[in-house]
Amino acid sequence: MLFVAEHTHPAPECPMNTSGGKDMIKELFSQEHISSAGIELVGAYMSCPNDEGAYHKGYFIIEAPDEETIIKFFGPMKVEVREVKPFSEIAKTL
């Protein structure tokens, strides 16, 4: 199943601004962690650190068996998860 996970955090709390946060991001998105979680990270897009606005956003396109697997993968990072389908599939039903 295909999902989009969205993460939002206030710009001043960006983990990219601390060494501990950078280490956490490196570990979270390491190939070893991705493989052991049983997911496929199809794409990842972030508005930080270029976005100096009030909030940074991350969008992650993930192939996974279910939503719980994705939530477990992100651990302490809060994400909103939605199942999605390719628009080409949806268009066929119109």
Domains contained in the chain, number? 1
pLDDT of residue 34: 97
State mean pLDDT over 58-78: 96
What DSSP line would sit under 28-78, residue for residue? HTSHHHHHHHT-EEEEEEE-TTT--SSEEEEEEEEE-S-HHHHHHHHTTS-
Contact by Cβ (8 Å): 76, 57: no
| Per-residue pLDDT tens over the stretch 14-60 | 888 888 989 999 999 999 999 999 999 999 999 876 666 788 999 99
Q: Which domain holds residue 82?
A: 2-91
Whether residue 84 has pLDDT greater than 90: yes
Query: Among residues 86, 89, 87, 66, which one has the least CA distance to residue 5?
Result: 66
pLDDT of residue 11: 87
Tell me the pTM. 0.86
CATH code of the domain covering residue 57 = 3.30.70
- The pLDDT > 90 percentage for the chain reads 72
